[in-house]
Amino acid sequence: MAGEYLAANGIDLDAEMAKTQFEHDFANKAAQHIKTRAPPPQYSDVYPSGPLRKIVGVRLPHKPPSTLWDISIADGKIFAIDSHASNSHDIGHNPSVLVASGRLLAPSLCHAHIHLDKCFLLQDPKFADLQIEDGDFEEAMTLTSKSKSRFEEDDLLRRGRQLIEESIHFGVTVMRAFVEVDEEVEFKCLDAGLTLKKEFEKRCEIQICAFAQLPLFSGDDGGEEIRKLMTAAAHREGVDVIGSTPYVEEDEVKMKMNVRWISMMALFNNKPLDLHLDYHLDQSREPMIWSVLEIIKGRNWVERNGKSITLGHCTRLTQFSADDWQRLKEEIGELPVSFVGLPMSDLFMMRTESGVRGTLPVPEMIEKYGLNAAIAVNNVGNAFTPQGNCDPLSVASLGVAVYHAGSNKGAEVLYECVSSRAKAAIGCPAASLNLAVGDEADFVLFDRINVGWRCRKSIKEAVYDGGQSRQTIRNGKLTTY
């Protein structure tokens, strides 16, 4: 009787009871998490939903803003792109259909270079006494070393989880995450990174880079212990990339030894190589880039099917002439080399006594010299980069001023630098702004909240001001709500 009465008044008793049971179950899971401090329940347990079959009524890059489109998805890829059907609202109740209502859909974003273990140190109460005074590289290294002496599993997971969650919120579906390996932390950072990689595997592809921030051939024991640890790390399941920082070595000879050793490790283990390189603005010092290319060519990298090579920072190259850039293009040749500029950190850290600052001129490298390049966040909330957040688009927005890239074309290049070009720089398949059938269904949908005329209608508007409200889609599934 009660069920019939409620049904007559438009209330589905079974659905309401199921909803109540779901809320009850989730509350119990949350309470249990608080009690045990265990990892949070899987996202699929909290928001049970299947893959999207259609996204209807979207604006697309390189299409007139007055036209709307419907995207069909199958097996995590774009199956069809059709003019928007005006009656699509009739299927909006279907859980496999997302009604976009005229919002901008674009390729998802990527962190081509981000440090997972050193994030939020300036904000975390555990490290509250370690604050910036001088704001230079030496202080940043000192503060980070002191922080690392306190690293434990709980704070590494807590801070890393926060960084990944915030990144996904902004539209990130893939990232290369650096975790340090050395005598101080041994495998603490690596273990935490591998745990988080597994935890978020359905929502974000996380490439773990086992990274030697400290010297491999300098120090009291000549770096022997770190080399042993890095050798073991390279063989760990789930480690995707090998990296080091040649510029921290005490002289040029040992810098070259660093490059020789780490490049051979990458080649032997069939893994991509990622180097932090030439992080200075001293014109009197010969850039290491030439030696790096010579060493890698000596490895017969292309002939031995070596993986991608990514070079971060490289601020010394800002002093290059046009002839230097042209020489660089020729020296790279067929090598799979990409550069990643990190303007948020570079402009804070890299300055001469006369006040000159520098970061790679990424758009010019792409458009004028045909080099593979991207931009990335690098650090969030530590002494190397105290400002900024986890949003790759915030770096693109900064690039409008840094690179004087305010035109429609300039803004689109900047978007690519945190999307398709960023993914390519770390060896991932990527859809261009010309979305096409067969592309990965990895998207960011802007302006979740109806903001009327302020909605982003083009890539240029998204780069100028990406807003805070977005939905992220990976492999055809919503990863944010």
The pLDDT assigned to 10 comes to 45
Per-domain boundaries in the chain: 2-38, 54-107+439-478, 109-425
Please spell the DSSP secondary structure of 428-445, one letter per residue.
Answer: -----SS--TTSB--EEE
Q: What is the DSSP letter of 112?
A: E
Q: Residue ranges of the alpha helices (H) in 333-419?
A: 343-349, 362-367, 392-402, 408-417
Give the up-direction half-sphere exposure of residue 301: CA atoms within 13 A in the CB hemisphere.
25
CATH superfamily of 54-107+439-478: Urease, subunit C, domain 1 (2.30.40.10)
For position 350, what pLDDT does the model report?
Answer: 85
Is the full-model pTM beyond 0.85? Answer: yes
How much is the pLDDT for 317?
97
Q: How far apart are CA 292 and CA 289, in angstroms?
A: 5
What is the spatial distance between Cα 37 and Cα 196, in angstroms, rounded to a whole number? Answer: 15
For residue 222, the model assigns a pLDDT of 86
453 phi and psi angles, rounded to 5 deg: -65, -15
Report the side by side order of strands in the sheet with 239-244: 109-115, 172-180, 205-212, 239-244, 273-277, 309-313, 337-341, 373-375
- The answer to whether 375 and 418 are in contact (CB under 8 A) is yes
Neighbours of 96 (CB within 10 A): 13
Q: What is the CATH number of domain 109-425?
A: 3.20.20.140
Maximal C-alpha separation, the chain: 89
Q: Enter the tokens of residue 161.
A: 């989880």
Separation between Cα atoms, residue 314 and residue 341, nearest integer Å: 7
Cβ atoms 307, 329 nearer than 8 A? no
Mean pLDDT, 10 residues at a time, the chain of 481 residues? 47 47 48 47 45 94 94 96 77 79 96 97 94 91 93 97 97 98 96 98 97 93 94 97 96 97 97 97 94 97 97 96 97 98 93 84 97 97 94 97 96 98 95 95 90 90 93 94 67
Which pLDDT score is estimated for 185?
Answer: 95
Structure tokens at 341: 């500029």
Instruction: Determine contact, residues 58/446, Cβ cutoff 8 Å.
Output: no
What is the C-alpha to C-alpha distance for residues 259 and 216, in angstroms, rounded to an integer?
10
Strand order across the beta sheet in which 477-478 lies: 105-107, 443-446, 470-474, 477-478
Encoded tokens for 323: 């002839």
Q: Return the closest-CA partner of residue 199 out of 208, 209, 211, 212.
A: 208
pLDDT at 353: 78
Closest CA to 265 of 235, 236, 310, 222: 235
C-alpha torsion angle, residues 244, 248, 254, 256 (rounded to 10): 50
CB-based contact 239:271 (threshold 8 Å): yes
pLDDT at res. 172 = 98
Instruction: With beta carbons less than 8 A apart as the criterion, state whether 68 and 87 touch.
Output: no
**Amino acid identity, residue 130?**
L
